[in-house]
Amino acid sequence: MSSQAARSGAVTAAKIRAPKRPAGTLYRGREGMWSWVLHRITGTAIFFFLLVHILDTSLIRLDPEAYNAVINTYKTPIMGLGELALVAAIGLHALNGLRIIAIDFTSWGVRHQRLMFWIAIGLWVVLMIGFAPRHLMHVFGGE
């Protein structure tokens, strides 16, 4: 191999570069990814609520006084805010679940998944605007 060919080969090898990655993450953070993340977070939160709910309800058979003590702790403002978070999680999980059903079982779902995400978020916000003030008035004694 001539020295000229060796030099041209070295130049060609130096021009090959690895593709650039997005700064900070491999994912782009579009609606589909955030929908997936929110669905998993809300589903996990609802699961743990149901677990605690089953455990505290089972107390009534073991010790009715302990059950009453646990129920009285649920009547605090902190737990009222937890109930608000629970309703928010259930609402978002349900609306996103309907969106996922539409994506999976319709021919147009995949094409319009981004629009359906924003519709689900909009409906969720409207529902929470209707629920939150009434619930917070009840929690903080504004009735």
Please give the structure tokens belonging to residue 35: 């929908």
Q: Is 96 exposed, middle or buried (0-12, 13-18, 19+ CB in 10 A)?
A: buried
Q: Which residues of the chain have pLDDT under 70?
A: 1-14, 18-28, 142-143
Per-residue confidence (pLDDT) for residue 5, from 0 to 100: 56
Q: What is the pLDDT of residues 75-84, one digit of tens each?
A: 899 999 999 9
d(CA 112, CA 74): 41
Q: Spell out a b/e string for 104-131, using b for 16 or more CB atoms within 10 Å of the CB, else e.
A: eeeeeeeeebeebbeebbeebeebbeee
Domains detected in the chain: 29-139 (1.20.1300.10)
d(CA 99, CA 108): 12
d(CA 7, CA 14): 11
Per-residue confidence (pLDDT) for residue 31, from 0 to 100: 87
